[in-house]
């Protein structure tokens, strides 16, 4: 049974009703700590406006999913209150909080007891002000509208948020719109002491904001890409390996006329895939035609348009390597629309292995990129970097091919 407390002022606070006029009410599923309040208790049941004026008769416990006792302003207590109550100095409390071994076991226990009892938790702004670290990292995203609704970023971000949480860090998310950069907000992130470091997702050689971090020696890691011009820290998936895996697969199935739908050649990892494609084609057929490489803009629509173009200029291709899954889906639709079967007539391989590609048929053979793990790794390294434990971060994560139905033996014709 539930009640609602309206203190003479302030918002109502919800309570479990433990007892009313001596009659116990549902003692189970209730937090152990109980409290008595001289208060007004209007009931929630129907419209009984009945109010218990002198509420000494009711015993209540706050509804607190996690429940510890509480009233609204816990009369903000600070480190001095704790020190006073524990009979030690402020410095001692600080050292207990920060696990400084100079404090004896006995003192530590005593102080921790008081901290518990008073429900003290140190103010982060104050800690940051006098300490060295903010324990906050930023994730920077390019200025694409709805960038976050992209599963590619979502997967990376999931890894970032999860690992950061585990390591006691908070993540703030920012979009680098033109105005944002003009206002130097990305520099302010450091200069106004918002963060210890930044993770840059979705950037490529064209995004010069990264040089700003380098120049000022602020910790920044490029995630799933690298910067060609500057020696910026990075972690990314092994796109070269992925491309090799995809090409191996197609070549072993007998394909020779393999076309490629790429995107964003201003990105180093995109060029990695193109490079490998070129190398393998060179070795395979002794030459490459630029007509077999079309830009698909990383979108499904772009992939479809690219495929249309490809089919009109080189109708005899038997396989398609796509720079990401979205373009591969677009490509498959274009193929099917033109009466070609996948994989009987044309095989298709993608990149990313995005989750929940719902009911795409045939299932798309694709290079799995460990994006979640990459996000987690990036956080791990960035924190080490902010603590000056490591300096140069150049790390690459292995990929693997996921075989589904969109690839098959080359057609006999």
CB of residue 337 vs its own copies: minimum separation in angstroms? 9
Q: Which of 193, 278, 400, 411 binds its own copies (CB under 8 A)?
A: 193
Q: Which of residues 75-104 bind DNA (CB under 7 A)?
A: 76, 78-80, 87-95, 97-98, 102-104
Binding mask 69-108 for its own copies (x = CB under 8 A): -x-x-x----------------------------------
Q: Which does 206 bind (CB under 5 to 8 A by kind): its own copies, DNA, none?
A: none
Binding mask 131-170 for DNA (x = CB under 7 A): xx--------------------------------------
How many angstroms separate the CA atoms of 243 and 258, rounded? 13
Return the range that interacts with DNA (CB under 7 A); candidates 71-79, 305-313, 332-340, 349-357.
71-79
- Largest Cα separation within the chain, whole Å, is 94
Q: Would you state the torsion angle of the CA atoms of residues 163, 167, 172, 177, taken in this order, to the nearest 10 degrees?
A: -60
CB of residue 81 vs DNA: minimum separation in angstroms? 8
The verdict on 65 binding DNA (CB under 7 A) reads: no
Return the range that interacts with DNA (CB under 7 A); candidates 4-12, 326-334, 373-381, 383-391.
4-12
The verdict on 336 binding DNA (CB under 7 A) reads: no
Binding mask 117-156 for its own copies (x = CB under 8 A): ----xxxxxx-xx----x-x--------xxxxxxx-xxx-
CB of residue 152 vs its own copies: minimum separation in angstroms? 8
Please answer whether residues 349 and 367 qualify as being in contact, where contact means their C-beta atoms are separated by less than 8 angstroms. Answer: yes
Please answer whether residues 213 and 385 qualify as being in contact, where contact means their C-beta atoms are separated by less than 8 angstroms. Answer: no
Please answer whether residues 216 and 191 qualify as being in contact, where contact means their C-beta atoms are separated by less than 8 angstroms. Answer: no
Q: Which of 333, 338, 345, 402 binds its own copies (CB under 8 A)?
A: 333
State the burial class of residue 301 (Cβ atoms within 10 Å of its Cβ: 0-12, 13-18, 19+). Answer: middle
**By CB under 8 A, how many residues form the interface with its own copies?**
82
How many angstroms separate the CA atoms of 335 and 322, rounded? 13
Q: Which of residues 258-287 bind its own copies (CB under 8 A)?
A: none
DSSP-derived pairing of the beta strands 170-175 and 319-322: unpaired
The verdict on 329 binding its own copies (CB under 8 A) reads: yes
CB of residue 95 vs DNA: minimum separation in angstroms? 6
Q: Which does 405 bind (CB under 5 to 8 A by kind): DNA, its own copies, none?
A: none
Look at the chain and count its residues. 413
End-to-end alpha carbon distance in the chain: 77
How many angstroms separate the CA atoms of 378 and 54, rounded? 59
How many angstroms separate the CA atoms of 231 and 219, rounded? 12
The residue to which tokens 């040089």 are assigned: 211
CB of residue 187 vs DNA: minimum separation in angstroms? 14
Sequence-distant (≥ 6) Cβ neighbours of residue 358 within 8 angstroms: none
The verdict on 304 binding its own copies (CB under 8 A) reads: yes
CB of residue 10 vs DNA: minimum separation in angstroms? 4
Which of 336-348 are b and which e, b meaning 16 or more Cβ less than 10 Å from the residue's Cβ? eeeebebbebbbb
Q: Which is nearer to DNA, 76 or 206 (CB)?
A: 76
Q: Which is nearer to its own copies, 151 or 279 (CB)?
A: 151
Q: Is 399 left (phi over 0), alpha (psi -120 to 50) or beta?
A: beta
Return the structure tokens found at 372. 């979640």
How many angstroms separate the CA atoms of 50 and 23, rounded? 17
Q: Which does 8 bind (CB under 5 to 8 A by kind): DNA, its own copies, none?
A: DNA
What are the phi and psi torsion angles at 163 (to 5°)? -65, -40
The residue to which tokens 């206002």 are assigned: 183
CB of residue 96 vs DNA: minimum separation in angstroms? 9
Q: Which residues bind DNA (CB under 7 A)?
A: 7-10, 76, 78-80, 87-95, 97-98, 102-104, 106-107, 120-123, 126-127, 129-132
């Amino acid at each position: 049974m539930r009640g609602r407390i309206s203190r003479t002022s302030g918002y109502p606070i919800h309570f479990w009703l433990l007892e009313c006029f001596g009659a116990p009410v549902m003692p189970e599923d209730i937090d152990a700590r109980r409290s008595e309040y001289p208060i007004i208790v209007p009931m929630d049941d129907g419209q009984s406006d009945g109010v218990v004026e002198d509420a000494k008769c009711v015993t209540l416990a706050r509804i607190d999913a996690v429940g510890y006792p509480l009233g609204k302003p816990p009369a903000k207590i600070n480190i001095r209150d704790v020190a006073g109550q524990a009979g030690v100095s402020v410095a001692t409390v600080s050292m207990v909080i920060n696990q400084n071994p100079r404090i004896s076991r006995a003192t530590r226990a005593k102080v921790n007891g008081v901290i518990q009892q008073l429900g003290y938790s140190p103010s982060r702004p104050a800690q940051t002000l006098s300490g060295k670290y903010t324990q906050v990292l930023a994730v920077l995203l390019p200025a694409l509208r709805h960038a976050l609704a992209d599963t590619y970023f979502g997967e990376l971000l999931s890894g970032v948020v999860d690992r950061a949480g585990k390591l006691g860090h908070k993540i703030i998310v920012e979009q680098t719109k033109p105005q944002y950069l003009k206002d130097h907000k990305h520099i302010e992130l450091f200069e106004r002491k918002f963060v210890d470091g930044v993770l840059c997702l979705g950037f490529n050689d064209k995004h010069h904001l990264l040089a700003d971090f380098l120049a000022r020696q602020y910790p920044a890691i490029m995630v799933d890409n690298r910067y060609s011009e500057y020696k910026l820290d990075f972690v990314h998936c092994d796109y070269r390996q992925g491309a090799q895996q995809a090409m191996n697969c197609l070549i072993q199935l007998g394909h020779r006329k393999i076309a490629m739908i790429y995107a964003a050649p201003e990105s180093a990892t995109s060029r990695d895939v193109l490079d490998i494609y070129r190398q393998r084609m060179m070795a395979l057929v002794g030459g490459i035609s630029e007509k077999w490489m079309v830009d698909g803009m990383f979108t499904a629509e772009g992939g479809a348009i690219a495929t249309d173009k490809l089919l009109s200029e080189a109708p005899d291709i038997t396989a398609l390597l796509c720079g990401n899954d979205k373009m591969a889906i677009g490509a498959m639709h274009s193929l099917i629309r033109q009466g070609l079967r996948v994989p009987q007539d044309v095989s298709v391989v993608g990149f990313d292995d995005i989750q929940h590609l719902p009911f795409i048929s045939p299932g798309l053979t694709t290079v799995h990129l460990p994006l979640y793990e990459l996000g987690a790794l990036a956080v791990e390294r960035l924190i080490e970097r902010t603590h000056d434990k490591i300096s140069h971060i150049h790390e690459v994560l292995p990929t693997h091919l996921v075989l589904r139905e969109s690839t098959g033996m080359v057609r006999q014709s």
